[in-house]
Amino acid sequence: MRDILVALSGSPNVGKSTLFNRITGGDVHVANWPGVTLQRAEGRVQHHGITLRIVDLPGTYSLSAQDVGERIAREFIVRERPDVLVIVLDATSLEKSLYFALMALELHHKAVIALNMMDAAEKRGIHVDVDGLASKLGVPVVPVSALKGVGVGALLDRILDVAQGKIRTSPLRVDYDGLEPFIHRIQRLIESKGALSRYPSRWAAIRLLEGDEPLMEELMHQDPDLAREVKALRERAGLELGEDPERIAISSRYSLIDDIVRSTVIQVRLAAPSLAERLDEVMLHPVMGPLVSVLLILLTFFLIFAVNTGFPLNLIFANLGYDELARMIEEFSISGILGSLFDWLSSLITKWLISAGYSGWPVGLISDGIIGSLGTLASFVFLLLIAYVFLGAMQDSGLFPRAAVSLDNLFRKFGLSGRAFFPAVLGMGCSVAAVVSTRAMDDDRERMVAAMASPLIPCQARLLVLLALASAAFADPLKQSALTVSIYLLSFALYLLISKLLNWLVFKVEYAPDLVMELPPYHRPSLRVVWWYARSNTEHFMRKAGMLIFVVGVATWFLLNFGPSGYLTGSKISESYAALLGSLLTPVTSLIGLPDWRYALAFEVGFFAKEGFLITFSSIAGVADPVQAIRIVGITPLKAVSMALAMNYYVPCLATVAALFSELRIGKYVLLTIALEIVLALMLAGAVYWTGVLLLGLS
Amino acid sequence: MDGELLPLTALRPGRRGRIVTISVGRGKARRLMELGLLPGEIVQVTSNSAGPVVLRTKGMTLALGRNVASRIWVEVVQ
């Protein structure tokens, strides 16, 4: 028997992704929807010997094709005609999730409803008449708890029943009241002309009356005369009924929803103000809200950075005089452990290769080039995974959306809305994630501005470089902390200021877009959901940038170890291709006090991945520890500050540039972003360096 | 005052209002209506200070920026 195609759909915050992961149990392939960076997850599951292919559609409130997510979901349903459309509803708030269900069932009635969060609903005194709901909607309804895995088997049974025709479903009919005569007219018109034949004709007629632009364009393309006739009918409907047809249509759907909810949901009132209400009093308080939000982000990243790099715990203990403890924290951080692991691996393999009779460049290539690059890759995986675990927990708990609301006022002053909070926070984990997250913004201008400004926020790779520079140049841990923290504060200020500048100069708008955002209910983060979130995001990143990081690592090894005279032995690195390439850029790095091909080369390699700075220094100095390597290459405190500033802002890394291209889709804006960052880096680093040299007599 | 006509931004936390008009652009109006903010709908404001207005409707909590909230007029109900 052939595979059964199942599409999973529903509004945001109904637990759709959790259900998807629960059904597929990890056998998932993540890719992008054609032409956009929106993630497309697809999984397979066997049920009673039959393979179900499950595609997770973007979570949307409607199917009006108003934004990318809605367009993708609708196009998929119409073009692929899934054997079964699973519509996920939230039993704790049926009213809100039913709107999507109605839109979906009008379009495609071979469907099954997964009534999610039934357990939570019962706890809150909400009882849903499952059979009643099924008969109102004309499709089977299966109560499930995606979080606990209850009801998934029954859901798969019903999916097979519908796919194999054992259960017959019927199209949902919404009563559109005064619009009905017009719907019939348009339906007959398009049927007789055979237009828009890939859609159900009644659905197409309603959508055309509602002023669905993509659909109208399609009709215009097929039959311009018919399109004009339909437009005239739409105008007549508006005049005759004295109201916008769109509003009548949406109202009609909501009155059906009211009717369904009245007859199938019984809510027993529960006393006592819930924890959620008390939490909201704090989170949405005009003064406490922003304060608590900022503390929350600090705490989140305190945890992420401490686990990953030891910062800021290492510096705190070093400041208090516990050097030994500080060193241990660093050694046992994720990047510390991975660093020593790969050093050990590299020396082990070197010994083994030499004892096996190998010598010369193949030994170096394998033990340094390949193992070293794999080490970089492994550290990326863990840094991202840990960051996503903590960020996923904050997201899942419902706290982050509140933080975005409470910071809305601050962001508005810079022509952004509270939504600009998400890229800024994700940017501390990885700039690629930050750029991709702007997809969720519904204001086009805000989306572009936030995408262009978000690479200014230091990602974790840059944090590692920053920490190494600070430790190499300053003995005093207080000064190390001061440098690191100032770069972060400066970056956030720049994120806002550059956004303001872009709004003003490029987009010539100064007002901030309106925030319209759903606040999902608070709940204790589920480990399983957080893990799925972290894993799928990390996998997505590795698929995009993993190979690149590895290849660039190996290529850098070749450039450093080969020169015009062939393989270089000993300390002849100054005769390498790398030195030649580096010297090309030295005129520019001289402007910020770094007239040395080795620094210039670090900037070149750093474009491919910001950790390239550390790899370059380690390779040049011939030691694994990047702090020691930077000291060997030689750096003064002033040069370290100049380099830290320049490194942070000079250009987004290659993977981020690629993400910017696919998000902005306007090359001019990507180039502008890069140019802006180069100018910013040269100005800031140059100003600091020359102030130090000329006014303070530093070097 | 019962029946008094106010923009959402003037509705104090805890008060409820029935939506009378929504005067925003076409695309935005559709988005709001699809979220359940239709004329006739009763909403309850849960937070309204300097930032976005937060309200409950159709079992959902929504945050609306002050600009869009000021364009939604409601009739106060008890």
Concatenate the DSSP letters of all residues of B9-64 into one string: GGSPTT-EEEEEEE-S-HHHHHHHHHTT--TT-EEEEEE-SSS-EEEEETTEEEEE
Question: DSSP string covering A639-681, please?
Answer: HHHHHHHHHHHS---HHHHHHHHHHH--HHHHHHHHHHHHHHH
- Residue A180 C-alpha, separation from nearest chain B C-alpha, in angstroms: 20
pLDDT at A56: 93
Does the pTM surpass 0.90? The reply is no
Per residue, the 3-state secondary structure of A213-246, as one string, reads: HHHHHHHHHHCHHHHHHHHHHHHHHHHHHCCCHH
Residue type, A357: G
How many whole angstroms from its chain centre is CA A456? 16
Give the CA-trace dihedral at A562, A566, A572, A575, to 10 degrees. Answer: -80
Q: Which residues of A touch B60 (CB under 8 A)?
A: 93, 95-96, 518
Below-50 pLDDT ranges, chain B: none
Token pair listed for A627: 């702090």
Yes or no: say if A372 and A328 are a contact pair by the CB < 8 Å rule. Answer: no
- Residue A240 C-alpha, separation from nearest chain B C-alpha, in angstroms: 20
Of A34, A78, A73, A71, nearest to A55 (Cα)?
A73
pLDDT at A33: 67
Tokens 């348009």, located at residue? A186
pLDDT at A272: 55
pLDDT at A603: 94
Per residue, the 3-state secondary structure of A593-630, as one string, reads: CCCCHHHHHHHHHHHHCCCHHHHHHHHHHCCCCHHHHH
Yes or no: say if B20 and B39 are a contact pair by the CB < 8 Å rule. Answer: yes
Q: Which residues of B touch A245 (CB under 8 A)?
A: none
List beta partners, residue B22.
Answer: B72
Residue/partner pairs of B28-31 with CB below 8 Å, 24 or more apart:
B28/A514, B28/A516, B28/B68, B30/A64, B30/A66, B30/A246, B30/A250, B31/A61, B31/A66, B31/A442, B31/A516
For the beta sheet containing B42-47, the strands, ordered from the edge strand earlier in sequence to the opposite edge, are A516-519, B60-64, B53-57, B42-47, B16-22, B72-77, B5-7
Token pair listed for A336: 């510390």
pLDDT at A120: 85
CB contact under 8 A, A96 and B58: yes
Yes or no: say if A411 and A420 are a contact pair by the CB < 8 Å rule. Answer: yes
Query: What count of residues does chain A have?
Result: 699
Of A467, A455, A494, A428, nearest to A640 (Cα)?
A467
- What domains sit in chain A, N to C, each tagged with a CATH number? 4-163 (3.40.50.300), 177-267 (1.10.287.1770), 288-510+531-695 (no CATH)
How many whole angstroms from its chain centre is CA A609? 19
pLDDT at A153: 93
Mutate to test the interface with B, among A174, A250, A274 (most CBs of B within 10 A): A250
Q: Residue A119 contacts by C-beta under 8 Å, 6 or more apart in sequence? A: A145, A147, A148, A150
pLDDT averaged over 10-residue windows placed end to end, chain A, 699 residues: 90 90 79 65 91 93 87 93 96 90 95 93 86 94 92 95 93 93 95 93 95 94 95 94 92 94 82 73 88 90 88 88 89 88 90 90 87 84 88 88 92 94 92 88 90 96 91 88 92 97 91 89 85 84 80 86 84 83 92 92 89 85 84 92 96 90 89 96 96 89
pLDDT at A270: 58
Q: Which of residues 237-266 of A touch B (CB under 8 A)?
A: 246-247, 250-251, 254
Yes or no: say if A155 and A183 are a contact pair by the CB < 8 Å rule. Answer: no
CB contact under 8 A, A284 and B33: no
Q: Where do runs of H (alpha helix) occur along A1-67?
A: 16-24
pLDDT at A262: 92
Yes or no: say if A515 and A419 are a contact pair by the CB < 8 Å rule. Answer: yes
- DSSP secondary structure letter of residue A568: -
Helices vs. strands in chain A: H and E counts, helices first: 34, 12
Q: Which residues of B touch A280 (CB under 8 A)?
A: 46-47, 54
Domains in chain B: how many in total? 1
Q: Which residues of B touch A517 (CB under 8 A)?
A: 62-63
Yes or no: say if A493 and A356 are a contact pair by the CB < 8 Å rule. Answer: no
Mutate to test the interface with B, among A405, A411, A419 (most CBs of B within 10 A): A405
- CA separation for the pair A419, A410 (Å, rounded): 11
Task: Using DSSP bridges, classify how beta strands B5-7 and B72-77 pair: parallel, antiparallel or unpaired.
Answer: antiparallel
Q: What is the sign of the dihedral through the CA atoms of B2, B7, B10 and B13?
A: positive
- Residue A412 C-alpha, separation from nearest chain B C-alpha, in angstroms: 10
Instruction: Please provide the distance, in angstroms rounded to a whole number, between the alpha carbons at the two ends of chain A.
Output: 76
ipTM: 0.92
How many CA atoms lie less than 13 Å away from A83 in the CB half-sphere? Answer: 20
Check if A94 contacts B (Cβ < 8 Å): yes
CB-nearest partner of B50 from A247, A409, A518: A409
CB-defined contacts A:B, below 8 A: 109
Q: Residue A643 contacts by C-beta under 8 Å, 6 or more apart in sequence? A: A469, A592, A594, A599, A635, A685
- Residue B37 C-alpha, separation from nearest chain A C-alpha, in angstroms: 10
The CATH number that applies at residue B44 is 2.30.30.90
Q: Which residues of B touch A286 (CB under 8 A)?
A: 49-51
Mutate to test the interface with A, among B8, B24, B33 (most CBs of A within 10 A): B33
Domain span at residue B34 reads 5-77
CB contact under 8 A, B33 and A285: no
By C-alpha distance, the chain A residue nearest B33 is A250
